[in-house]
Amino acid sequence: MTSRAREWLVTSIVLLVIAAAAATAYLYNQKLRQDRDALLYLPKSSPITPSTALLQRYIRVKTVNPPGNEIEGARFLAGQLAEVGVKGEIIEAAPGRASLYARIKGKNPGNALMLLNHIDVVPPTGKWDRPPFSGAVMINMVYGRGTADMKGIAICELQAFRDIARSGRVPEHDLVFLAVADEERSGTLGMQWLLDHRPDVFDGVRCVINEGGVTEMEHESMRYFGIETGSKLAVDLDVVAPSHESLLALRRALEPYIAPRETMRVLPAVREFFAAVAPTRRENRDVLRDIDATMKIQKGWLVPANYAELMMDGIWMSGAEPAVNGGFKMRVLMRNLPDEQPDDRIAWLSGMAKPYGVRIGEIHEKQGPALPSTADTPLFRLIAATASRQYRVTAGPDVLPFSTTDSRFLRAHGIICYGLQPFPLDFFQSLGIHGPNERVRVDWFEQGVVFLREVVRHWAFEPA
C-alpha cells in the first residue's frame, strides 16, 4: 500500500469515527432534551372545582402524627357528611386520637363496601416551595402534606360516598365510610383499636377500597393501573449485644440474608401480578410472563430486584449504637412474605444471634400474617374495567414490596382489600410522599374524583 493510500485510509477512518461520535452526541442530546421537556412540562391551568377546594380545606387541618390530633380532621369530615344528611360518629381511642365512621344502609345484608382512608399525616420535612399546610396552588399543583398520602384519596372517597347519600336511592348493600387515626405510626390507636373495641364498625363488610395502588406513568400517559392486592409485611426490632464487635459479627453473618434469591418462592398473588404487568415490560416481558417457568430453569437471577423482593424474605440492618442500659444495639427490619408467621421469623433471628452473644431487644412492630386478597371478585373487575375505560390503560393487580397499609389488619380477618391510586400520580410527584413538596396535579386529581364516583355508583346501583 502506498503512503498516499495509507493516508487516505487513515483519514477515512478518522472521519467515520468523528461522524459516529457526532451521531451519538446528537441522539444523546435529543434524549436529554426529551427528558428535560418532560420534567419542565407545565400543565394548563385547571379551574378550582368544589372537590379541589375541599381538598385544600382538608390539607389546612393539621393532623400531623405525632401527636396526631386526628379529631380535628374527623370533625371536618363529619361536617361534610352532615351537609348531605349523614350522621358520622367520631370515635376516640384516646383524647384527640379520633376516627370517623358513617354507614348508608342498603337493601340487603352483608357484602358491604367500605371506603377506608386515614386522617393523620407524617411531619413535613425538607424545604417546600409552598407551605406544607397551605393547600396553595402553583403551576396547576395543589401543595400540601397529605395531598397524595392520603387526604387526596380521602376526598375522592368522600365525594363518592356523598353522591350516594345525596341521590336519595338505597344502595343494594351497605356503604361504609371510615377515616382512621394513627395509620402513619402503627395503627394502635386507629385500625387495630377499632377492630379490638368496635367490631360493629366492620359488620357485614366484605370488601374495602383503600390506598396502596400504583399508577405507572410515562411522561403524560399512564401505562399501568395497579390495584394493590397485598404487600410484604414487616417485623421491626432491636438486637442487643454486650459489645460492638459481637454486633458486627452478627451483621456479617446476616448479610447473605439481605436479599437471599436462593430461597425465592412465588405466591399466587405475585404470579398474577407478574403475568398482568409483563406486557408493559419491554426488557423483562418473557421473564415475568411465566414466572414459574423462569424459576424452573433457574433463571430467577433475571428477575429485576424490585420484583425479586416479592419472592423472598429480606432483611435490613442499621449501624450499631450504644444501648440505654449498657452494651450496644442494632435496628433490624425484616420484610417478610405475607404468609410468614412473624414469631417464626423472630425465632429464626434469635437463633442466628445467639452464637454471638446477641439477644432480641425491643420489638417495635410485628406485622402479619395477612394473605393477599383475591382478584377474582366483581369489585376487582369493576375497578379494572373503569380504569381501562377512563384512562385507556392496562389495569391489573399489584403487590407492594416495600410499604404496607392498614389493609393488613383487615386481610388478617378475611376481608378483601384493594388499594387504589384513583388519580394519576407520576414518579416525581410520588417523591413528595413522606418527603418535601408533596403535591397533586389539579386536573389529574379531578380525574380521580370522577373515577371513584363512577366505581362506587356502579357498585351501589348496578351490581354485577
Distance between CA 306 and CA 308 in Å, rounded?
6
Q: Which three cell numbers stand for residue 365?
A: 412492630
Q: What pLDDT does residue 37 have? A: 42
DSSP per-residue string spanning 49-87:
-HHHHHHHHHHTS--BTTT--HHHHHHHHHHHHHTTT-P
| Cα–Cα nearest to 179, from 117, 121, 114 | 117
Give the integer Cα–Cα distance in Å for 349 and 340: 14
According to the model, what pLDDT value does residue 25 have? 55
391's CB contacts (< 8 A; 6+ apart) are 222, 225, 424, 447, 451
Q: To the nearest whole number, what is the mean pLDDT of the chain?
A: 92
The architecture in CATH of the region 50-211+421-461 reads 3-Layer(aba) Sandwich (3.40)
Q: What percent of the chain has pLDDT over 70?
A: 90
| 295 close to 280: Cβ distance less than 8 angstroms | no
120-151 tens-digit pLDDT: 999 999 999 999 999 999 999 999 999 999 99
pLDDT in tens, 222-239: 999 999 999 999 999 999
Q: Which CATH code for domain 233-366?
A: 3.30.70
Domain ranges (residues) in the chain: 50-211+421-461, 233-366
What confidence score (pLDDT) does residue 220 get?
83
* 315-350 per-position pLDDT tens digit: 999 999 999 888 999 999 999 999 999 999 999 999
The vertex-152 CA angle with 409 and 51, nearest 5°, equals 135
pLDDT digits (tens, 9 = 90+) for 89-124: 999 999 999 999 999 999 999 999 999 999 999 999
Task: For residue 256, give the 3-state DSSP assignment.
Answer: helix
